[in-house]
Amino acid sequence: MATPKPKSSTSTLQKSNHASARKPKRFRSAYSKAELEEIFRRFSVQRPEPKGELEHVNPFTLVVAVALSAQATDAGVNKATRALFKVADTPEKMLALGEEGITQYIRTIGLYRNKAKNVIALSRMLIDEFGSEVPKTREELMRLPGVGRKTANVVMSMAFGIPTIAVDTHIFRLANRLLLAPGKTPDEVEQHLLKVIPDHYLFRAHHWLILHGRYTCKARKPECERCIIADLCRSPEKTCDVPAPLAELPPQVIGVAEAVE
């Protein structure tokens, strides 16, 4: 009877490597729990009551505004929707305007024709399936034409006070640049942020990160000398280690010309 040959160490090692390769990498932030707590504590001191900068008058107009903001600035959307929302602040009024009527108000916004179609379609769905009320769940919101996960998260947070993280271009950039919650996709970044943001800061964290990315940690050139977390920041791009003085900023004024994004 032949003696079975022992498995070679090379073969065993190869199998071990394959097994480890299949294991998903465990996410780790570059910051300790204490550092994360301090980062968001400082944001809370600087902006105790942060606000989204899209103008709206009710949950319906918020859904429309966020849907229109895709590949557009909040300032550009606000300029177009001020007049629109004066004449159409309900799904019924928006439907009555019609696609061409909406187009007359939003033609300064990129992809305005396709967005006008989506606004009509989502208005009709709200009337037909939701009794003209904006739904509160992510799954139902994402059924609306032109509404993706980011839009749904914004509406859940701003309209209904449900803690979420909506990953826009600013948050995606910050999460990766600061090594806070790096990820290859917005969904991945969202999941990582939910793991690292202290629970008691989660509700406002969305706005803190957006505003920090819009006005301080800017896309083209971060203004590190104006950053209140410069000493804690792990970004390879940072140019300053001295944090800016921590002080509460003046209350936000929504409806005036915003800074260039």
Mean pLDDT of 37-56: 95
Give 26 or 243, the one with higher predicted confidence: 243
**Is it the case that residue 66 has pLDDT exceeding 50?**
yes
Q: Which of 88, 54, 89 shows the shortest CA–CA distance to 72?
A: 54
Domain ranges of the chain: 33-51+164-226, 59-160
Give the whole-angstrom CA distance, residue 91 versus residue 96: 9
**Is it the case that residue 27 has pLDDT exceeding 90?**
no
Task: For residue 120, count CB atoms less than 10 angstroms from its CB and return exposed for 0-12, middle for 13-18, buried for 19 or more.
Answer: buried
255 pLDDT band, cuts 50/70/90, is low
Displacement of CA 171 from its chain's centroid (Å)? 6
**Is it the case that residue 94 has pLDDT exceeding 70?**
yes
Q: Which residues are registered as beta bridge partners of 254?
A: 256
| Active-site residue flag, 168 | yes
| Active-site residue flag, 5 | no
Q: Is the dihedral of CA 160, 166, 170, 174 positive or negative?
A: positive
Residue of 23, 33, 136, 150 marked catalytic: 150
Mean pLDDT for all residues in the chain? 89
What CATH code would you report for 59-160? 1.10.340.30
Q: Which CATH class is domain 33-51+164-226?
A: mainly alpha
pLDDT, residue 258, reads 41
Give the whole-angstrom CA distance, residue 253 versus residue 54: 11
Residue 120 CB partners (closer than 8 Å, separation 6+): 94, 95, 98, 99, 102
Displacement of CA 3 from its chain's centroid (Å)? 63
70 pLDDT band, cuts 50/70/90, is confident
Residue of 5, 33, 115, 168 marked catalytic: 168
**Is it the case that residue 20 has pLDDT exceeding 90?**
no
Backbone conformation region of residue 8, classed left if phi is above 0, alpha if psi is from -120 to 50, else beta:
beta
Give the Å distances, CA to CA, from 120 to 110, 125, 243, 245: 17, 9, 48, 48
Mean pLDDT of 89-95: 98
251 pLDDT band, cuts 50/70/90, is confident
pLDDT, residue 254, reads 66
pLDDT, residue 215, reads 94
Axis crossing angle, helix 149-160 with helix 202-215, rounded to the nearest 10? 120
What is the pTM assigned to this prediction? 0.80
